[in-house]
Each structure stands twice: as structure tokens, then as C-alpha cells.
Structure 1
Amino acid sequence: MRKSNNFCDASQQAYGAVSYLRITSGDGAHSTSFVCGRAKLAPLKQQTIPRLELCAAVLAAKADKQLRDELELQIDRSVFWTDSMVTLQYTRNTERRFHTFVANRIETIHENSYAEQWRHVSSTQNPADDASRGLHGTELNKDCRWIQGPPFLLLGENNCPKNPKTISNLADGDPEVKGDANVLATGTDQGESTLKGLSAWYSSWHRLLKGVAWLRRFIQWRFSYPKEERHQRDRLKNCELDEARLAVLRLIQREGFPHEMDALERGHSIRTGDVSRLEPYLAADGLIRRYIRPGLATQDASTL
């Protein structure tokens, strides 16, 4: 059995990821080897640690995809390790909506991995810590942790670090989570009837999106903007039309796949029905998308 183990970590100075291939022989013996590692300096514009940890997770997800594409050996299983509980919360989230920076990176992670593949490892056992904190040249030798990997890779599965039994939900005050005022409700009867009423008024898809976008802007002005800015009447921006499009598509999917949407929002997998063969998952933007296995297609996961 060949298993890819991908570790990631970040600090205010840098973030990185490192991958090891563990091969288990027929008699149960394990051997591991360093495959690739990558580190990047943190952006000059200071970012929060959770954002940098998410950037490191993207590196790990892309590294695993590259291994599957480039290695001639077949990889039977992939595991991703992080010492950031916030990253695990982000990757497992099915209810909250995030701002663009976080949402885009979660989308990339979901395109290349499942949430169940992500595990927690302590900082003392995380070799990617050497990429984020840095190593002196004299420490970088064949016996160092960066090259050899953590000792538990050579042990049985029962000796590997375990995730906490329960991973807490994101805090209500998390700065990356969009407030309710920024999202047009599409999961309630009131939200559904509102969009249905709008669709009856407009004769084209583009006009419908403009109507929804103006309504969303009004909600933002009503709850978020200072009073002196409420008089602004700028033209709609492309990003506002994009958000309106997502709101409408979420409603359409909720009407077309009500049971699937409910199951995915609860964190369950779809294993029965016609949709199950597409391996659907709930993306960071709230849409049901089909999973495209790494190496089998180059296109992005598409919306159902």
C-alpha cells in the first residue's frame, strides 16, 4: 500500500508544505521517503495566521495532486496534516459563508481533497514547521526531521496522531465569516418566496440578477453602511452580480435537490440516488458541486 502524507504549517515569516510517501509491504513493514517540499515567504502585506495556515494547506493539497499526476507509482491513499485547528474547522465547514480570500482557498482544497482526509498533528511532530520557522544550514542533513519525516510514519496506523473526538464549530465572531447582512437568505421560506417573486417580474436571467443584486445592496446599506454613505447610487459592480448569481443558484439547487442539500449541510455524504455517482460536495460558496478526482480531469469541479 502506498500512502501520501502531506504536512503544512505557517508563521508570520513563511509558510510551507512537505510530502512523504509511505510504502507498506506485504508483511506489514513500513518505509517512508521524502518526495517534495516547498516554502514561501509570507506576503509583504501582513496576513493573519489563520489565512497563512490556509495558504499552507493549499500548498499541501496541490503537492498531493502533483504527486498523483507525476509519479508512475499509484498512490492508494492521501492524508493531510496540519497543527491548525482553525484550518480543520474551515475545511469541515458546511454552514458558514466566507469572504473571498478564504473562500477561494477552501475551494481549491476541496477540489483536491476530502475534508475527512485532513488530520491534526502537534507542532512538535509537524515537519512543515521547519519550513515556516526556518532551519540553519548545519541542521539540514539526511537525519533531520525535514528529510526523514516524523517517526510515527514508520509505525502502525494506531500509533498515528488522532483528531479530537469533536472539532468545535467556528466562532460567531470569526472575521472571515460573512455576516448575515451580506447574504440574501435562500434557505428560508421567506427567502425562497422573495426570489420566486422576483423571477416572475423579470423576463431575462440578466435582469433577474440585477434585481437580486440591487436588493442585496439595499440590505447591505440598511445594516452595514454608515448613514452618510446610504445615498450612494453607483452602478452595480461585477462582484455584486456574481454574488447575486450565487444566491439564485443556491435557491435553484435547494429546490431541485432538497434532500441532498440538507444532507450535505449536515456534513453527510450522498451515497444513494442518481446524484451520488457524481460524488457531490458542498463547496465554500454554498453550491453543490461534483467532485473531480485529481489526475482524471484538468477542469474545475462543476456545479450540478
Structure 2
Amino acid sequence: TFRLKTFVANRVAQITEATSTLSWHHVDSINNPADCASRGLTPSELLNHSTWWTGPCWLSQPEQQWPSSNLITEKLELPEVKPEVILHISSRDEPIQSSFIQDLITRFSSYDRLLRVVARILRLSNKAQHVSY
């Protein structure tokens, strides 16, 4: 779950801790209650939408009567997945003087975090220059 964004990774962790993957079943998009809201149904339409409240009709039947699916798993590009960042760093055998930039790079756990901190510093610096006392 480390490649997932924080909110999604936390939900996935909660679900995997509370359930066994052997009890998981696939629900296609047409029968998925979570998709009802994303299809543009209004709140008043959701009030009377049985799939929204109880799930697909086959869910109340014995498990042996549930539809089976032959899923082909493939790598999907999901919006919840963090984009992979590849940082190439080259080094020399001889020691070099540590620079401010190198210190920043080693201080932060990820490139994204480094960018956020540097951006915040630049914004604060810019604001401080424009403040008149």
C-alpha cells in the first residue's frame, strides 16, 4: 500500500486487517453501490435507489448463487496510486564539499516532501519581502 495515496492506503490497511482476502468477491461496476453516487444520481434519487442501500440483489442470495467472474488481473493506472518518482543522482569517488542543496535532499524522506517544504520557504520569503513595517 506504500504506492497508494495516504487516504486510500489507510482504508486498504483497515480493510485488510479486518477481513480475509478469501472472503472478497468482485462486484462489477453496474452492480457496485459505490458507483451510484459517481454516476450523477441526485440525493433524492439515492433515497429510493435500492442498490445504494442494500447492494446488488444477488447479495441477499446464498453465496453459491452469486455470479462468478473470471477476472484477469492486470496493472491498472489508478488515480489513487502515487506517481512513481525516479531521481537519478551521480556521485564522484573523491569527497566533495557538502552543499545546501545536498543537505536538503538528504534531510527529507521523499522528493515531494522536499518540494513542498522549499515551496513553503519561498512563499514565506516572498511574503516577508512585501510586508511593510
Q: Which has the higher strand share?
A: 1
Normalised by the size of structure 1, how large is the TM-score?
A: 0.25
Q: Which has the higher helix share?
A: 2
Which structure is higher in RCO with an 8 Å CA cutoff and minimum separation 6?
2
